[in-house]
Structure 1
Amino acid sequence: MNARRRLLVAPAVLALALTAACSNSSGGSGGGSGSAAALTGDCAKFQPYAGHSGTKVTMFASILSPESDNLEKSWADFSKCTGIKISYEGSNDFESQLPVRVTGGNAPDFAIIPQPGLLAQMVKTGKVVKPPAGTVANEDKWSPVWKTYGSVNGTFYAAPMSANMKSLVWYSPKILKDAGIEVPKTWADLMAASDKLAKAGGAKPWCGGIGSGTATGWPATDWLEEIVLGSYGGEVYDQWVDHKVKFSDEKITTAMQTLAGWMQNPAWVNGGIGDVKSIATTTFQDAGAPILAGKCAMLQQASFYEAQWPKGTKVAADGDVFAFHLPAVNPAVPNPVEGGGEFLAAFSDRPEVQAVQDYLSSSDWASSRVKTASGWVSANQGVDKSLYTDPIDQLSASKLTDPTATFRFDASDLMPAAVGSGQEWKSLTAWFAEGQSIQRVTADIDAAWPQ
């Protein structure tokens, strides 16, 4: 799944007061049209969005604290200077609650949607509003493929906000060093390292968790996607997304067998937590904790997982934890990189909503978000790469923009919502929790595919 960054604190609401240093008057419309009092000082850069002081917009997403705290910081100056209050709500049940709210006439002004499949579902309701001209113009700062992910049937609806690198392995430098293991460069090296650690009898090679509220199961879809992409390359991956290659196809069942030999190997998992079944009941947020406790060596998770490490954790090659690029299962697949992202969809075209939409699609906002904290990357080409000071962000940005990479977006996010954020989550969870057969799992997922 994409950026399903469900963190552990309850939803927060941002209420920022207009200050005297950033004067503004009500009236006008989004994108800088209409009249508005001049903004001065540090607020002058927000002049194109002025004219809506005293208004409020609502935003709903799956991002919880502490990451949502950084999200809110990223637009704090905008809100202070323009007087537009952004009321943010995050939920672990976002994917199930958004359709209920939209069809029930209680849609938020904005939703940050991490799955293009869910975006398509929302567009079918007729409630998603096409973006204003300013947002459309800002898309020139993104490579064309990102615009297609925010489009449905060729019509652009939702501007991308973030990009994240899925193909990472977080690890303990100390555990690997003490075991005489160098950072694996190939899949064979990774499996050999896992076997060596398991036989040593200390920390188990792997830890993992796929719990995530109503989105439980999404980390398991990432593991499968990494193996499919790294085994067969982009063409088969694309056919799988389109269901031209079914889950019951030999290629996919073979990929599941590879995954079972990795993350369902009782000798290799679930370090510091429990047995294989415990992966299904462990939240993804808690899954990496045993690394810091010296009970687990590695965790496969995306770049955004950096926000989960406790304050004071040293993220470096000689630190408490670091990360490396997950190698291809098949060495013939060049540099496989799976990524995800989030897209801002609007359910209202009020002027203040359009002003916020324009700002959040801009390079200025993306740069502001990069500055708030590490662990967040944008594929917006207007962002100065020097702003990335964190080594994981630097690694992610380089891989996501590498022209030689076999890059693909998260498959389950691209699949129809009934499958990618529905039956696949459910079935892969049952696979880990109940030991359901691969044949049963794949048949159930195929049967859920919309006709």
Structure 2
Amino acid sequence: MNRWLRRMVPLAVLALATTACSTDGSSSNENDLKGKTVNVIGTWGGDEQAAFLKMVEPWEKQTGAKVKYTGTRDINTVLTTGVASGVLPDVAGLPGPGQMAEYAKTGKLLPLDDVLDIKTYESETAPALVELGKVDGKVHGVFIKAAVKGLIWYDPKVNDYGANPPKTWNDLMTQAKANQSKAKAIWCVGLESGAASGWPGTDWIEDLVLRTAGPDVYSQWYQGKVKWSDAAIRKAFEIYVNDVVANTYGGGKAAVATNFEAGGDPLFATPPGCQLHHQGSFITGLGKFKQAKAGTDYNFLPFPDIEAQYAGAVEGAGDLFGMFKDTPAAKSLMKYLVTAEAQDIWVKAGGALSANKNAKSYPDDVSKRSAEILANAKSFAFDASDLMPTAMNDAFWKGMVALTNGTKSLDQVLADLDAAQKDAYQS
């Protein structure tokens, strides 16, 4: 899961309630949008919110319409409540494909096949991302930016792992242990994210499942067909506990208390707090990465292989957008957001990869390498927790917090997740 805002849920709901009727959908001429407002709810705050608002500025100038943005950390609750009550924004960032499908099946999240030029959209967008935005064969969600998960970040001035790149997980851990004197710990971890706390831990488990059990088991797992206590899934949790939490800067309790945006900041401390930080490509736009120089102050390794038969697997994610209100202004905004023109604005600012293959304005070689990994992946897997039902996703987040800070044992966490799985996939 990615990118959460510091707003309380009641404020987000109130904002939607007071603006739900403010968008005038009476105009039938898409070119006559002056004075119209599109109410948007999303997960971004800080620099990410600023980047999104900058992204929509050209559309506002071209159309004379305005975007009214409301942010929340707990978008799952806001949208699920809105689907039930009818108090919904015009356009929203969606928690993930799994939740997207839930909203679409209620009829509240609208299909986009008559909104977008589908042939153009499909030709310009990575095929895996196009398919992930479909429900029953129709496009209901579009990716306005993407990310590669599972990148291992380091400061090459402390130890240049790129000079002798570890090919396997065991190689990485061997090198890191040999360099222990260069930093206070091997790993930096930050799991705090308000109502979404724990999601960076779910990324860890997903990367480990993908590389130890393979893409088929990975898919069966997020579909609820493999129990969490199954040996194939348990192995990933054991690696996380034994290799990561046991070697984390400040320990597991500190990791849970550290906001994900600042999770990698100790890489740049003097002396360094850690050697390595596991996070998606978007981290370059957050925390101390923003002021650091790519390639000089930080670099990354792709997540190393664990089992040889699953070599080359890549986990990715992205920010899905969907439309809940059928208005000319909302349709126009959705058309704009999928273009290379729009997505290049965020790409140029850093911390984002474009879902549109024609966006090219990456600010540095590190970003370009991330984009190449996404484009050339032998096996692409979408963030598993984003594909799970909302209740399962929430339980996964909470389980990672409890496991990392030591309030529950591995056996207890897996038992809790098995129990949640029985209910989450019933509907």
Distance in 2 between residues matched to 1:399 and 1:154, nearest whole Å: 27
Which of 399, 412, 431 is 2:403 aligned to? 431
Tell me the equivalent position of 2:203: 222
Q: 1:287 to 1:130 in 2, by over 3 A?
A: same
Q: 1:400 to 1:445 in 2, by over 3 A?
A: same
Q: Are 2:253 and 1:277 equivalent residues in the alignment?
A: yes
Tell me the equivalent position of 1:396: 370
8 Å contact kept, 1:418–1:448: yes
Unaligned runs of 5+ in 2: 13-24
Which of 142, 145, 164 is 1:159 aligned to? 142
Deviation at 1:139, TM superposition (A): 2.5
Deviation at 1:183, TM superposition (A): 4.0
8 Å contact kept, 1:161–1:360: yes
Tell me the equivalent position of 1:313: 291
- Scaled by the length of structure 2, the TM-score of the pair is 0.88
Deviation at 1:81, TM superposition (A): 2.0
RMSD: 2.5
Distance in 1 between residues matched to 2:154 and 2:224, nearest whole Å: 34
Q: 1:261 to 1:191 in 2, by over 3 A?
A: same
Give 3-state SS (helix, strand or coil) of 2:345's partner: helix
Tell me the equivalent position of 2:21: none
Deviation at 1:153, TM superposition (A): 3.3
Counterpart amino acid of residue 331 in structure 2: Q
Which of 334, 337, 353 is 1:377 aligned to? 353
Q: Deviation string for 1:2-23 (max 9, x for gaps)?
A: xx212669999xxxxxxxxxxx
Q: 1:201 to 1:79 in 2, by over 3 A?
A: closer
Give 3-state SS (helix, strand or coil) of 1:300's partner: strand
Give 3-state SS (helix, strand or coil) of 1:79's partner: helix
For residues 2-401 of structure 1, the aligned pairs below 5 Å read 4-6=2-4, 29=28, 34=29, 50-131=31-112, 133-137=114-118, 138-140=120-122, 141-177=124-160, 182-198=164-180, 200=181, 202-265=183-246, 268-270=247-249, 274-293=250-269, 294-310=272-288, 313-317=291-295, 319-371=296-348, 373-383=349-359, 385=360, 387-401=361-375
Tell me the equivalent position of 2:380: 407
Deviation at 1:133, TM superposition (A): 2.2
Deviation at 1:232, TM superposition (A): 2.4
Distance in 1 between residues matched to 2:385 and 2:45, nearest whole Å: 21
Tell me the equivalent position of 2:413: 441
Q: Deviation string for 1:282-314 (max 9, x for gaps)?
A: 111121111111222111000011111448633
Q: Deviation string for 1:154-199 (max 9, x for gaps)?
A: 332112211101020111112215x99844332122111222233x
Distance in 2 between residues matched to 1:121 and 1:374, nearest whole Å: 32
Distance in 1 between residues matched to 2:220 and 2:56, nearest whole Å: 39
Distance in 1 between residues matched to 2:202 and 2:419, nearest whole Å: 17
Distance in 2 between residues matched to 1:168 and 1:355, nearest whole Å: 35
Distance in 2 between residues matched to 1:287 and 1:88, nearest whole Å: 27
Deviation at 1:148, TM superposition (A): 2.2
Q: Deviation string for 1:1-44 (max 9, x for gaps)?
A: 2xx212669999xxxxxxxxxxxxx9864xxxx4xxxxxxxxxx
Distance in 2 between residues matched to 1:282 and 1:96, nearest whole Å: 23
Distance in 1 between residues matched to 2:290 and 2:323, nearest whole Å: 37
Counterpart amino acid of residue 289 in structure 1: D
Aligned residues: 405
Distance in 2 between residues matched to 1:110 and 1:418, nearest whole Å: 23
Give 3-state SS (helix, strand or coil) of 1:78's partner: helix
Q: Deviation string for 1:333-352 (max 9, x for gaps)?
A: 22121000121111100111
8 Å contact kept, 1:315–1:322: no
Distance in 2 between residues matched to 1:158 and 1:316, nearest whole Å: 32
Unaligned runs of 5+ in 1: 13-25, 35-48
Give 3-state SS (helix, strand or coil) of 1:135's partner: coil
Counterpart amino acid of residue 364 in structure 2: D
8 Å contact kept, 2:222–2:384: yes
8 Å contact kept, 1:313–1:321: no
Distance in 2 between residues matched to 1:255 and 1:330, nearest whole Å: 12
Distance in 2 between residues matched to 1:380 and 1:432, nearest whole Å: 36
Q: Equivalent pairs: percent with the same residue?
A: 33
